[in-house]
Structure 1
Amino acid sequence: MAGRVCVVTGANRGIGLEVAARLARAGDTVLLTARDPAKAERAARGLAGRVEPRRLDVSDDESVAEFARGVREAHGRVDVLVNNAAIHYDTWQRASGADLGVVREALETNLLGAWRVTQALLPLLRAGRHGRVVNVSSEAGSLASMGAGTPAYAVSKAGLNALTRMLAAELRRDRVLVNAVCPGWVATDMGGPGGRPVAEGAASVLWAVDLPDDGPTGGFFRDGRPLPW
């Protein structure tokens, strides 16, 4: 699978950074993106392989359009898109009294950001003919087990799961596989201490990145095993 052009959003730390590092070590060209270009550059300097730091604010139309133009000019295709950027794990809120401004911000990044970037890069994913879109989701977005708490985050991830299903159905004939992956509770800045190692969460994401052409699409997985919607 080496030699692919891979885009990872929100890749300056945590799971995104680990995914970028492992793809680069495997021989892929990785476009490591972050809202702050200085943070992207610092993260990229610490990695071996072909890593290109790029500014990308997934919540901003102009930023996404500029990024897509740059990728088209530099590479002409995208083989892998990992929609990892996310904000607001709002453990302090409940739906009945949630700050809807926080909810709106979460939706703008966690759902619409992934949607926006996927739309912008679709021509390049189609050009690659073996595209993979991996939406980094969470079991917090599973309707089967959803309860109280983290309303902004949970609703945004449930929406991301729904988007995954729709895109998978629409892009199947283009040979673009689209899946949602829950990396589990991972010890990152967002997840906090006590979770599984970042490498294990990243491995769950990479499983979907490395699926063969006849692999599943439109699914929700953790560690390669289906999760309930």
Structure 2
Amino acid sequence: MSEQTTHTNQNVALVTGANKGIGHAVAQQLAARGMTVLIGARDAQRGEDAAAAMRAARGDVHAVTLDVTDPTAVQAAARQVEQRFGHLDVLINNAGITGSGQVSPQDAYDQAPSTVDLDMVRAVFETNVFGVIAVTNAMLPLLRRSPAPRIVNVSSHAASLTLTSDPDGPFATLLPSAAYNPSKSALSALTVQYANELRKDSVLVNAVAPGYVDTDSNNHTGHLTPAQGAAVVVRLATIGADGPTAGFFSADGPLPW
């Protein structure tokens, strides 16, 4: 992203992990709504390629090199946003990893709690939990300058202890996981705590489950398109002042914790 200062009254949104998949679709939909969208991507070239494609479709989209597990990169990204735009209205914490590469629920045996590699668990939490804290805290001063700041944490139905603990429920076929699922449950807890702290500042913080979306992370076995999965994220990112905070939502409405 250029260092040129272009402070704007337009709404500015940052989406982490937005060069592909759900994050990419979220960026497209926010840009289509007229927002200035910042595509956070670990790989600078992939981020710039994604941003350039959206600019070609008349979106006001810019790339920001952002590895959520690198504190130096996170702080540098926050400085870039401040210098270029002066504020941030929407933060979408979308970047996440499964820990198992390209997996479907049927072949994630390496996450079984009794045999899991602790280094995998640490890596998953580093991105899915600690990375969210790092990015959120770095961007909060910019969000506080917005008249209507919104934070959306992209989670999963697998985060729900209620749903995943039901042996007769719709998620009974999910294999036990000591990495990805618990990381998303921790993200739920973080969402509530940030919402509670920031409620007095009118920062609305929610978690969303996009559903089983066709992405690299599940080897493209999902039945929803990225655009379909992105819709609920965008909805929570653009709610009014009377909207919810400390909630967990799917496209069909609130989910149990």
TM-score, shorter chain, exceeding 0.5: yes
> Which is worse superposed, 91-100 or 109-118?
91-100
Aligned position for 1:218: 246
Structure 1 moving runs of 4+ over 3 Å = none
Q: Once superposed, what is the RMSD of the aligned Cα atoms?
A: 1.3
Structure 1 position 151, deviation (Å) = 2.2
1:152 aligns with 2:184: no
Q: Which secondary structure state, in structure 1, belongs to the residue aligned with residue 239 of structure 2?
A: coil
Gaps of 5+ in 1: none
Separation (CA, whole Å) in 1 of partners of 2:198 and 2:242: 14
Structure 1 position 3, deviation (Å) = 2.9
Aligned position for 2:21: 14
Separation (CA, whole Å) in 2 of partners of 1:115 and 1:79: 17
Q: Which secondary structure state, in structure 2, belongs to the residue aligned with residue 96 of structure 1?
A: coil
Could you tell me whether the CA contact under 8 Å between 2:194 and 2:205 is conserved in 1?
yes
Equivalent pairs, count: 228
C-alpha change, 1:224 and 1:120, in structure 2 (3 Å) is farther
C-alpha change, 1:9 and 1:61, in structure 2 (3 Å) is same
Separation (CA, whole Å) in 1 of partners of 2:136 and 2:252: 22
1:138 aligns with 2:143: no
1:53 aligns with 2:67: no
Could you tell me whether the CA contact under 8 Å between 2:99 and 2:121 is conserved in 1?
no
Among all aligned residue pairs of Structure 1 and Structure 2, give the percentage whose two residues are the same amino acid: 48
Please give the per-residue CA displacement for 1:174-202, whole angstroms capped at 9, x wherever unaligned.
11100000000101111332421111100
> Which is worse superposed, 89-98 or 128-137?
89-98
1:107 aligns with 2:125: yes
Q: Which secondary structure state, in structure 2, belongs to the residue aligned with residue 128 of structure 1?
A: coil
Aligned position for 2:205: 178
Aligned position for 1:23: 30
C-alpha change, 1:224 and 1:75, in structure 2 (3 Å) is farther
Structure 1 position 89, deviation (Å) = 5.1
Separation (CA, whole Å) in 1 of partners of 2:133 and 2:212: 24
Gaps of 5+ in 2: 1-8, 101-107, 166-174
Structure-2-length-normalised TM-score: 0.86
Separation (CA, whole Å) in 1 of partners of 2:31 and 2:191: 25
Instruction: Look up the equivalent residue of 1:198 and give its one-letter code.
Output: P
Aligned position for 2:43: 36
Could you tell me whether the CA contact under 8 Å between 1:58 and 1:64 is conserved in 2?
yes
Q: Of the candidates 60, 63, 74, which is equivalent to residue 73 of structure 2?
A: 63
Structure with larger Rg = 2
Q: Of the candidates 108, 125, 134, which is equivalent to residue 143 of structure 2?
A: 125
Aligned position for 2:172: none
Structure-1-length-normalised TM-score: 0.96
